[in-house]
């Protein structure tokens, strides 16, 4: 069955996820949706020093928003911040150095952030695709720690702050690769069998879709969405998927095209007219499963994922400083 999923996904990708797919879809966009002034609203973007995160942060800054850049590498983050301030003229750009693969750091950051700032929109963009099985200092598999547990902790830790805000939103940057994976709660850290970084990443992205659906049910005052940016030419794609990049580089979307739907979900009034918890591609909600791919999971597995992540998160919260 995996060959079927992979083949259907790749054919779909060639048609929809490339630059040509974006150009075709964008003919139906309403430019006015994102021509908005968001001065006075506060946005937090993880993984904001390059790629889709930086492109998103820059466009929000152009529209007057207060932007909190959450990045791991201080040097690269400072360069990105300077670029955003210079290009947009917006001085309300703040930098926070946090490693999203380190749950204790995220808890510490979120506790401090809640005491010092307001927040209207959280954009979970940080992610990684590590092709060999690596463990963090906490003994967590690195892809899971960053893509799934890091996203879970950042969101749940900031929900109380978002609950206080007007028109609160959470957007998670996922991937169409999740369409080839069925949720697997029996091996969250990919310790059984051969390790395939691309498939582990796709499983993490399926988990993000499930998280978004579950959060939408639990927190009715916040609008949750998850999206696929298409296949974009970003530093992450070049470093993590060099063969794919070489094959597809002439057809990849720009970073700004990849970020377009993130921006639309973050700032447009139209986005929140649609139900919370949906998966988006090119400003449209799209199915989370391929036809005949057998990737649906029973509700008890989805509940189990939430329980396991909550257990993980609380374990790290209890040893968090402060």
Residues 135/204, Cβ–Cβ less than 8 Å: no
Query: Is 267 within a domain?
Result: yes
R_g over Cα of the chain: 18
Over the stretch 261-285, which tens digit does the pLDDT of each residue have? 999 999 999 999 999 999 999 999 9
Query: Is 223 within a domain?
Result: yes
Report the number of distinct structural domains present in the chain: 1
- Residue 319, pLDDT > 60, answer no
Query: Is 321 within a domain?
Result: no
Closest by Cα among 296, 102, 299 to 206: 296
Lowest mean pLDDT among 36-45, 100-109, 241-250: 241-250
Q: What are phi and psi of 102, to 5 degrees?
A: -110, 100
Which residues are annotated as catalytic? 201
* CATH code for the domain of 91: 3.40.50.720
Instruction: Quote the pLDDT of residue 202.
Output: 95
Residues 37/271, Cβ–Cβ less than 8 Å: no
- The neighbour count for residue 185, using CB atoms within 10 Å, is 18
Over the stretch 3-12, which tens digit does the pLDDT of each residue have? 888 888 888 8
Query: Is 11 within a domain?
Result: yes
Q: Helical H runs in the chain?
A: 2-16, 19-26, 51-62, 74-88, 103-116, 142-143, 151-163, 197-218, 235-240, 242-248, 255-267, 299-318
Query: Is 141 within a domain?
Result: yes
Query: Is 29 within a domain?
Result: yes
Distance of CA 245 to the CA centre of its chain: 20
Query: Is 320 within a domain?
Result: no
Closest by Cα among 144, 143, 172, 165 to 53: 172
- Residue 311, pLDDT > 70, answer yes
Instruction: Quote the pLDDT of residue 116.
Output: 97
pLDDT band at 139 (very low <50, low <70, confident <90, very high): very high
Task: Give this prediction's pTM.
Answer: 0.96
Over the stretch 213-247, which tens digit does the pLDDT of each residue have? 999 999 999 999 999 999 898 888 888 778 887 88
Note every long-range contact of 238-241, with CB atoms under 8 Å and residues 24 or more positions apart, other chains counting.
Answer: 240/128, 240/129, 240/130, 240/131, 240/197, 241/129, 241/198
Q: Domain limits at 101?
A: 3-315
Q: Residue 71: beta bridge partners?
A: 97
């Amino acid at each position: 069955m995996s060959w079927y999923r992979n083949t259907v996904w790749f054919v779909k990708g060639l048609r929809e996820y490339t630059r040509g797919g974006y150009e075709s879809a964008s003919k139906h966009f309403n430019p006015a949706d994102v021509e908005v002034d968001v001065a006075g609203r506060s946005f937090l973007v993880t993984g904001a020093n390059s790629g889709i995160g930086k492109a998103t942060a820059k466009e929000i800054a152009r529209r007057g928003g207060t932007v909190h850049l959450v990045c791991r590498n201080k040097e690269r983050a400072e360069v990105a911040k300077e670029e955003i301030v210079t290009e947009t003229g917006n001085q309300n750009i703040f930098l926070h150095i946090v490693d999203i693969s380190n749950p204790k750091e995220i808890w510490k950051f979120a506790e401090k952030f809640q005491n010092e700032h307001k927040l209207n929109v959280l954009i979970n963009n940080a992610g990684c695709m590590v092709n060999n099985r690596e463990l963090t200092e906490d003994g967590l598999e690195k892809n899971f720690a960053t893509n799934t547990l890091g996203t879970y902790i950042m969101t749940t830790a900031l929900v109380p702050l978002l609950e206080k805000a007007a028109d609160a939103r959470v957007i998670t940057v996922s991937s169409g690769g999740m369409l080839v994976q069925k949720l697997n709660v029996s091996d969250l850290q990919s310790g059984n069998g051969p390790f395939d970084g691309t498939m582990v990443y796709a499983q993490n992205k399926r988990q993000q879709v499930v998280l978004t659906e579950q959060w939408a049910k639990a927190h009715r005052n916040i609008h949750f969405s998850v999206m696929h940016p298409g296949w974009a030419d970003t530093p992450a794609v070049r470093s993590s998927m060099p063969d794919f990049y070489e094959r597809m580089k002439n057809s990849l979307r720009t970073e700004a095209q990849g970020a377009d739907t993130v921006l639309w979900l973050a700032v447009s009034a139209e986005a929140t007219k649609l139900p919370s918890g949906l998966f988006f591609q090119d400003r449209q909600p799209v199915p989370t499963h391929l036809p005949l791919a057998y990737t649906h999971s029973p509700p008890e597995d989805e509940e189990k994922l939430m329980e396991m992540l909550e257990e993980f998160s609380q374990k790290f919260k209890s040893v968090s400083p402060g």
